[in-house]
Structure 1
Amino acid sequence: MARTFGTTTRMRLAQAAATTALALGLAAPAMAADEQAPAALEKGLKEIVVTAQFRSQKLQDTPLSITAVNSELLKSRNQTDISQIAANAPNVQLTQMGGAFGSSMAAYIRGVGQYDFNPAYEPGVGLYIDDVYYATLTGSVMDLLDLDRVEVLRGPQGTLTGRNSIGGAIKMFSAKPTAENSGTVEAAYGARNRLDLRATANYALTENLYARVSGVFKRQDGYVKQLDYGCANPSNSLGITGNASSGKDCVVDKLGGKNYSGVRGSLRYKPNDKLDWIVAADYTYENRTNAASVLTVNNTAKTGGVDFRCGRFCTYASFYMPAGGQAGQAYTMPNTTMFTGWGVSSNLSYNITDDLKLQSITAYRKYKQTFGTDDDFTPYAPAGGAGYNDLSFKFFSQELRLNGKIGTLGEWTLGGFYNDQKSVYYTRQDIRYIVPNVPTFYLQFMGNDPIPANSKAAFGTVILHPTSALNVTAGLRYTSEHKDYTFVRKTWAGGTLNDIFGVGALNGSQATYDGKKLDWRISADYRFNPQLMAYATVSTGFKGGGVTARPFTKTQATNGTFRPETLTSYELGIKTDLLDRRLRVNLAGFVNDYKNIQLPISDCSLLDGYAPGTDPFPCAAIQNAGDGKMYGVEAEVSASPIEGLDMDATLSFIDGEWNRISAQVTSIKLSDPITTPNWRGSFGMQYKADMGKNGSLTPRIDYAYTGKQTMGRLGVTAPLDYNPAFGITNARLTWKNEKQDLAISLEVQNLFDKYYFLPLRFQALYASAGTVYSNVGRPREWALSVRKSF
């Protein structure tokens, strides 16, 4: 006989409340609760297996700060792209960029990372797909297509991953082809004509050969209206006329739209227990409007006396520039971003003996991205500029690992990594606004810059077991890297650019960086009992050096090479499984000693050969201009107090101080925060109500909090600006049939329609054009999805 839904639900919720109170230390001792626990609870929380140390280990046995999320939790949270992972990981910030940065992502872990997409600069957070390193921020906001799990490793990964990563690493692992015939189909429709389609198919082609194919398509209208200013304000004081082609209500387009599609296929050959070989290929296409940005600061003294801010979800950005200089007639830049990319990889594992395993990971990737910019984000032509960007990239990598054992004493890994890459950055820039009274011809140029780079590394790790409870880990990594940048500065038609201002002299100049670095890690962990493990780690990492990518003079280019920034991290942590594995609590505390930090400088006098403060040329260089310390604590909690009820929560705090700021940096002061926000937190809860033959019903709610964050200052003497703290709530209700092969879900994201800005803004033109623009978070939106498994 089927159980009564209402009675069963009330009983479970009552027990959940009691167990939750116990977990918070508000009820009886743990032993009493364990004695009363029903037999159905003995299985507790699921084990998660990670491969952060080159071998399969339980998450709770790995002496690293790792947030590991499996595919089921990703689905239940409705997380479909990588930028959403940060909401549930301590001290992790992944922000989708836009405007002047194209299709890229700013990635920071524990306050260390990178936001600039330019290939002259290295990412501070390593991104991996099936152990293949993704070398750039461009194209990194990818769909979580057919994943098995995601591992977010916090802290320097100098001795562990394929490439050195100073802040941490995000590793995504696809579901492997298996010896079965199965698949899924999913469709979703929602707000602003959202349409998502997903499908996966797995086939056993032969007894030893399996195939898996998956695909995704996502489309949605934007949520920031791009308005024609002249159309909406026909009698404006500036005499800006409307465009006859403007749409209804003067709407030109809607920024923040989606148009993304991707496909991935893999073959797996596994003839025996010794050999396992997976070959995979993928293709991605994206063609959408630029990020949803609005004007947030407008100095009317520089914009013709008009405030061009028009509302919470609208902009007057025109992507238009008038005739002048090389521009014989007025022109418009595209307001869209297009990305096409593909890659192939081979991951071969071979067990030479029971104690010796060889792994070879080979990959090739290529992409092309184009996008236009409106630098001042107004229709007022004298205020700002515009740019067209075309970035192409190709990348080859090879990694070899040899894993072995030393009897029962320990395990070891030896490996090598090599990558070779080349970017070509074509751009057509109109920056005549930058320096007043300079002939406009000299601040309009075409660039077509090749940026080749390579990296070579050798690494080793040994894990010793002096006792059954104690493990000691040591690792070393030696890295050698090279990068050079050749500057092309010509007229738009490809002719010689006059050198009156200095930009023309850049043409043909080359800047070169070569560096070598030794990183190390020492760690010890001790398991006091099956419920408690503690560890201590000291590790180093670095972010590679490079060259100044946006010089205004030849000397800024040739003298602008900068060294790696380095980090030494000290970390203590504990990992626990409590209450018969119904409660999991992981805690970590760290101190980072951060040296030679790569910062943008605003005075290039030393690079140009002038006395400090006397350089007549503008400056957008990067130099090793700071040192500092950061410290923080992190907590991750998972609980399954009764059958069907699952909860998870995170809380993190980070702070620190600058020890040194170069005089060339005028936008940062020693008293400024070295990293923000200080606080982040999240909470999620779901309850699966079993309704017998009627299937199951699972409501879920998630909340993510981001503390207030510094956004820099608008001028040397101006106070710091802050992005206010905000919290976002998402909700989802899922029904599954009795066989659990059909699911229907209703989701609402940003349930309370919170208006907020993403924590990065574009303010490079404030001094000259008087404007700043920011990316707006997505408003409340709903979707209904249907998923069928077979």
Structure 2
Amino acid sequence: MAKASTGASIARLGLVVSASAIALGAAAPAFAQATGDKDGSSVTTDEIIVTAQFYAQNLQDTPIAITAMTGDTLEQRSAASLSDATSSAPSVLLRPQSAAFGDSVSASIRGLGQSDFDPAMEPGVGIYIDDVYYPRLTGANLDLMDVDRVEVLRGPQGTLTGKNAEGGAIKFFSKMPTGENGGYLSATYGSRNRINLRGSADFKLTDDLSGRISGAYASQEGYVNVYDYGCAHPSSGVPSTGGGSKCLKYKEGDVGYQALRGMLRYNPDEKLDVLISGDYTHSSHHNSAQVLLYANNSNPNVATANGLPYDSRFICGPWCNYDTTGQNAASFVAGLIPALDGFPMAATSGSELSVLTSWGVSGKIGYDLSDAVKLTSITSYREFENSFSADGDLSPANVGFGNNNVTDWAFSQELRLGARLGDMINATLGGFYSDEKAVYYTLQDIRYVAAGPLPIFPLQFIGDDPIRTKSRAVYGNVEVTPADNLTINMGLRYTHDSKDYTFYRLSLDGVTPNPFLGALNGVAAAPFRGNRLDYRVALDYRFSPEVMAYASIATGYKAGGNGPRPFNAAQALAFGPEKVTNYEVGVKTDLFDRKLRLNLDVFYLDFKDAQLTLLSCPQYGGPGPCALPQNAGNAHSKGIEAEVFLSPVTGMQIDGSLSYQDWKWTCINPQVVRGAAGACSSDAAVLALIESRPPGMMKWKWSVGAQYQADLGSAGWLTPRIDVAYQGSMIGNVLTPAAGSPSALYGQLDGFTLANARLTWSNSAKDLDVALEVTNLFDKYYYTAKFDLTGAGAGSISGAPGRPREWAVSIKKKF
């Protein structure tokens, strides 16, 4: 009762504050004070133009909860990647994933999203690069190379952006060619031999044709040491595989990538605008930083080559591990099935490097059919390949190891017709088509399969699964202004999604069907076919030039599919789509001669058929590994979000954000949590079996930043800035851990507060910047992700520690 009361109090507080802000805004002109610069101009909040509703619009006129950040703002905050850019956005989570998931991210907004990189799973947050949909979480932590702005749309965007944007959408916009014959070069050096080089050049080829090229290079040593266990512990009897100085093999968490983007823009007149762009990224580095937090597995098949059991002796410390790239050959020690005693297990090996290669091309054509009607075509093709190996036990023990390779290509085409019909109606009609094929190759060496203390069978197999995903949609959006200051926005989108998945489960020779999973080999899963009609209705009213309030209802959904990792035939199960309806009221204000910007919103989510991945599921085929997505139940959620920007005096800026969200499961599918058949149950005993909120949801998140630009006269400008951000705690696995269990003690993600500081000197012409930055100023130790396999029988919990305190010096020259 206390939790529900707190959430209701927060929601009521939001409504009171919103109403107060409206009243304040109506009175603001009477007592607003202007503070002038030396040239007599007043200091005000920036005009930020967004395109969330398909046309250019002031952020403060858009009836959507949006966080919009310009490239200059992101640079001031020392943001280098998309995850850095979203760290100050309310209710938004975008974090790099653990080593087991390669070069992917976990993305959610208002608790709705996805963390699994597997192409069989759909993301719940739509990510867009220059209006082109990016279909996967792999490679999505984009470098902020030559970025113009980033828009974060909170709440379901099922109508406006469509595909899989149930939590919201994140839109990355590059700087466009202008023909100005300008550009910049920047260089950074910092902690652990960090080197960043960035540059961009804008050039005019003819009166009608301009281009822009930008590039980035990054290199930095890692911060988690990987030691050779046998070398570091010679008395253990574990064979040394050869460590370097002090038994150090390499360091995880390092950085190494190159990126290039080129654009050509043909703009012969006011009617036609053609943009062709291409990009290429290559990243090669060791695994994401990881440490072992818990280890306990007495199964003799997982012991080291010389028989040491898997236990806490392999916990290295907060900044090191004993990661290996393979497992030893052995003979299976049978327990439950005596006939398997002595079954041969081959040695497996992989690479210590995670390698991502990604490229794409796109074309955007805008043509004005008349003064009131514009046609836009967006065509895109993209490919990527990500190869990585993962040692789940971070030790020389033989618990679990896997090689992974994901290849993916995707084609998309969108046509959009926009019409401005007088001063009253602004309409958009469009269609979208996408076709994607991925192949997920994996070699898995899993030796912990057991029923209690008794081993069952060895699980060494190759999977080579093709996945084909297609989507077709038609949509319409109309904005009507029936009276001064009143706007009504309505939209519909019809989507048809399909997904086809085929399982291949072979022995390590790559030819023979696996003896334990052979029943799945070559089996085409039941295809997913789904139709969905999403809608959005929004009403906004401008009470004064300073205050606009809005209310909206919007829906979204995430497509279903088939569980991509069946470890037995019973786990080859389908799952359906999940759906959300969002009710929202908000207010956007620019007060005191636009020196204070305060945006507030309160939302309520009606969420159905949540897709949750179980890492323990003995009810589906018995004990052993599990990574099974299923529709677990329904929930209600409510929250409040606030953003503020204040410029009280010349040169000073203060910005902040706050979000709070409460979550309540209304019913849970009993088959998913305890194996008992039945309808979705609201029984308290069933509800208690699942965590009180989904993965990726934080109850609290806040940030505050401040900077002051000091005028040094002919010596230029000096700008100190500090940012402090808090991200709340999150759950580990889906099922509620027993009190005092390893999952309860080590598997949860605690909240953390980070501070960044930056000092920038600019010359008087503002074309030369020199900056000193320190990130994680107070050297906070925290985890960005955890991987708990105790419920699956592996007996391990690992964590991905965030980056420690780092410093860097940057020089940027504009020309």
3-state DSSP class of the match of 1:192? helix
Structure 1 residue 710: Cα displacement? 2.5
Q: Which moved more, 1:503-512 or 1:413-422?
A: 503-512
What's the counterpart of residue 589 of structure 1?
A: 602
Structure 1 residue 600: Cα displacement? 2.2
- Percent identity, aligned pairs only, is 47
User: Which residues in structure 2 correspond to 1:602-681 (within 5 Å)?
Assistant: 615=622, 619-666=626-673, 669=688, 672-675=691-694, 676-681=697-702
CA–CA separation in structure 1 for the residues paired with 2:138 and 2:187: 28
What's the counterpart of residue 66 of structure 1?
A: 66
Amino acid aligned to 1:672: E
Cα gap change, 1:766 to 1:379, in 2 (>3 Å): farther
Cα gap change, 1:447 to 1:767, in 2 (>3 Å): closer
The counterpart of 2:324, out of the listed 311, 318, 338, is 318
Are the aligned partners of 1:277 and 1:346 in contact in 2 as well (CA < 8 Å)? yes
CA–CA separation in structure 1 for the residues paired with 2:317 and 2:80: 29
In the alignment, is residue 783 of structure 1 matched against residue 808 of structure 2? yes
Cα gap change, 1:362 to 1:296, in 2 (>3 Å): same
Structure 1 residue 456: Cα displacement? 0.1
1:607-664 Cα shifts (integer Å, max 9, x gaps): 66xxxxxx46754321111110111000000011122111110011011111122223
Amino acid aligned to 2:660: F
CA–CA separation in structure 1 for the residues paired with 2:348 and 2:114: 33
What's the counterpart of residue 468 of structure 2?
A: 452
What's the counterpart of residue 308 of structure 1?
A: 314
Structure 1 residue 241: Cα displacement? 2.3
In the alignment, is residue 734 of structure 1 matched against residue 755 of structure 2? no
What's the counterpart of residue 752 of structure 1?
A: 778
What's the counterpart of residue 197 of structure 1?
A: 197
Amino acid aligned to 1:726: F
What's the counterpart of residue 264 of structure 2?
A: 267
Amino acid aligned to 2:700: W
Are the aligned partners of 2:156 and 2:554 in contact in 1 as well (CA < 8 Å)? yes
Are the aligned partners of 1:299 and 1:307 in contact in 2 as well (CA < 8 Å)? no
Q: Which moved more, 1:622-631 or 1:547-556?
A: 547-556
CA–CA separation in structure 2 for the residues paired with 1:299 and 1:116: 26
3-state DSSP class of the match of 1:353? coil
User: Which residues in structure 2 correspond to 1:249-398 (within 5 Å)?
Assistant: 249-299=246-296, 303-324=309-330, 330-381=347-398, 384-398=399-413
Cα gap change, 1:439 to 1:671, in 2 (>3 Å): closer
User: Which residues in structure 2 correspond to 1:8-157 (within 5 Å)?
Assistant: 34-35=32-33, 37-38=35-36, 40=40, 42-157=42-157
Cα gap change, 1:134 to 1:327, in 2 (>3 Å): farther
What's the counterpart of residue 241 of structure 1?
A: 239
Are the aligned partners of 2:690 and 2:735 in contact in 1 as well (CA < 8 Å)? no
User: Which residues in structure 2 correspond to 1:494-513 (within 5 Å)?
Assistant: 494-499=510-515, 501=516, 503-511=517-525, 512-513=527-528
Structure 1 residue 726: Cα displacement? 1.4
Structure 1 residue 604: Cα displacement? 6.2
What's the counterpart of residue 419 of structure 1?
A: 434
The counterpart of 1:569, out of the listed 582, 586, 595, is 582
Are the aligned partners of 2:253 and 2:289 in contact in 1 as well (CA < 8 Å)? yes
Amino acid aligned to 2:629: I
What's the counterpart of residue 11 of structure 1?
A: none
Cα gap change, 1:45 to 1:769, in 2 (>3 Å): same
In the alignment, is residue 700 of structure 1 matched against residue 726 of structure 2? no
Are the aligned partners of 2:411 and 2:436 in contact in 1 as well (CA < 8 Å)? yes
Are the aligned partners of 1:649 and 1:683 in contact in 2 as well (CA < 8 Å)? yes
CA–CA separation in structure 2 for the residues paired with 1:195 and 1:150: 24
3-state DSSP class of the match of 2:369? strand
Q: Which moved more, 1:460-469 or 1:161-170?
A: 161-170
CA–CA separation in structure 1 for the residues paired with 2:537 and 2:813: 47
Cα gap change, 1:110 to 1:337, in 2 (>3 Å): same
Give the structure-1-normalised TM-score.
0.91
1:558-603 Cα shifts (integer Å, max 9, x gaps): xx11111000000000000001000000000000000001112467
CA–CA separation in structure 2 for the residues paired with 1:663 and 1:264: 50
Are the aligned partners of 1:602 and 1:620 in contact in 2 as well (CA < 8 Å)? yes
CA–CA separation in structure 2 for the residues paired with 1:514 and 1:412: 30
3-state DSSP class of the match of 2:159? coil
CA–CA separation in structure 1 for the residues paired with 2:587 and 2:209: 42
Structure 1 residue 149: Cα displacement? 0.4
User: Which residues in structure 2 correspond to 1:416-565 (within 5 Å)?
Assistant: 416-435=431-450, 443-499=459-515, 501=516, 503-511=517-525, 512-557=527-572, 560-565=573-578
CA–CA separation in structure 2 for the residues paired with 1:108 and 1:777: 19
Amino acid aligned to 2:202: N
Cα gap change, 1:464 to 1:36, in 2 (>3 Å): closer
CA–CA separation in structure 2 for the residues paired with 1:117 and 1:356: 40
CA–CA separation in structure 2 for the residues paired with 1:329 and 1:551: 22
What's the counterpart of residue 18 of structure 1?
A: none
CA–CA separation in structure 1 for the residues paired with 2:405 and 2:498: 23
CA-based RMSD of the aligned residues comes to: 2.2
Structure 1 residue 31: Cα displacement? 6.2
Structure 1: 5+ residue stretches without partners: 1-22, 609-614
Cα gap change, 1:587 to 1:695, in 2 (>3 Å): same
Q: Which moved more, 1:709-718 or 1:564-573?
A: 709-718
Are the aligned partners of 1:201 and 1:214 in contact in 2 as well (CA < 8 Å)? yes
Structure 2: 5+ residue stretches without partners: 1-20, 300-308, 332-342, 675-686
CA–CA separation in structure 2 for the residues paired with 1:460 and 1:36: 43
Structure 1 residue 707: Cα displacement? 2.1
3-state DSSP class of the match of 1:84? helix
Structure 1 residue 685: Cα displacement? 0.8
1:295-337 Cα shifts (integer Å, max 9, x gaps): 1122375644543212110112223311036977644322221
Are the aligned partners of 1:126 and 1:133 in contact in 2 as well (CA < 8 Å)? yes
3-state DSSP class of the match of 1:362? strand
Amino acid aligned to 1:752: F
Cα gap change, 1:411 to 1:158, in 2 (>3 Å): same
CA–CA separation in structure 2 for the residues paired with 1:111 and 1:224: 30
1:672-715 Cα shifts (integer Å, max 9, x gaps): 32244211000111111111111111111111111233224898
Q: Which moved more, 1:710-719 or 1:75-84?
A: 710-719
What's the counterpart of residue 600 of structure 1?
A: 613
CA–CA separation in structure 2 for the residues paired with 1:45 and 1:279: 33
Structure 1 residue 240: Cα displacement? 1.1
Structure 1 residue 136: Cα displacement? 0.4
CA–CA separation in structure 1 for the residues paired with 2:583 and 2:41: 37
CA–CA separation in structure 1 for the residues paired with 2:726 and 2:623: 44
CA–CA separation in structure 2 for the residues paired with 1:77 and 1:393: 33
3-state DSSP class of the match of 2:693? coil
Q: Which moved more, 1:431-440 or 1:50-59?
A: 431-440
Are the aligned partners of 2:35 and 2:649 in contact in 1 as well (CA < 8 Å)? no
